[in-house]
Amino acid sequence: MPYLVIVSIIWAFSFGLIGSALAGVDSYFVATLRLSCATLIFLPFLRTKGIGKSDCLRLVAYGAIQFGLMYVCYIKAFSYIPSHLVALFAVLTPVYVVLIYDARQRRFTPRYFLAALLSILGAAVIKAKGAPSGDIWIGFALMQLAGLAFAYGQVAYRDWKRLHTQINDRDGFALLYIGGTLCAGVFSLSLTDWSALEISASQWQALLYLGCIASGLGFFLWNKGAARSNPGTLAAFNNAVVPLAVICSLFIFGEITNSDTESLIRLVIGTALIGAALVLGQKNTA
- Cβ 39 vs Cβ 173: under 8 Å: no
Q: Walk along the chain (286 residues) in steps of 10 and give the mean pLDDT of each run.
A: 85 73 84 95 92 94 96 81 70 83 84 80 71 70 90 92 90 96 96 91 93 93 88 78 67 58 75 78 56
- Cβ 283 vs Cβ 128: under 8 Å: no
Cα–Cα distances (Å) from 151 to 49, 69, 75, 171, 192, in that order, read: 28, 12, 17, 22, 27
- Spatial distance between the Cα atoms of 212 and 271, rounded to a whole number of angstroms: 29
- Cβ 154 vs Cβ 98: under 8 Å: no
Cα–Cα distances (Å) from 247 to 13, 14, 85, 243, 250, in that order, read: 10, 12, 18, 6, 5
Q: Cβ atoms within 10 A of the Cβ of 192, count?
A: 17
- Spatial distance between the Cα atoms of 137 and 140, rounded to a whole number of angstroms: 5
pLDDT of residue 286: 47
pLDDT of residue 134: 58
pLDDT of residue 217: 94
Predicted TM-score (pTM) of this structure: 0.81
Question: Domain map of the chain by residue range?
Answer: 2-282
- Spatial distance between the Cα atoms of 59 and 66, rounded to a whole number of angstroms: 10
Q: Quick check: helix, strand or coil at residue 82?
A: coil
- E strand or H helix that includes residue 41: helix 27-42
CB environment 200-224: b (16+ within 10 A), e (fewer): eeebeebbebbbbbbbbbbbbbbbb
- Spatial distance between the Cα atoms of 184 and 61, rounded to a whole number of angstroms: 13
Cα–Cα distances (Å) from 229 to 130, 149, 237, 283, in that order, read: 35, 19, 10, 11
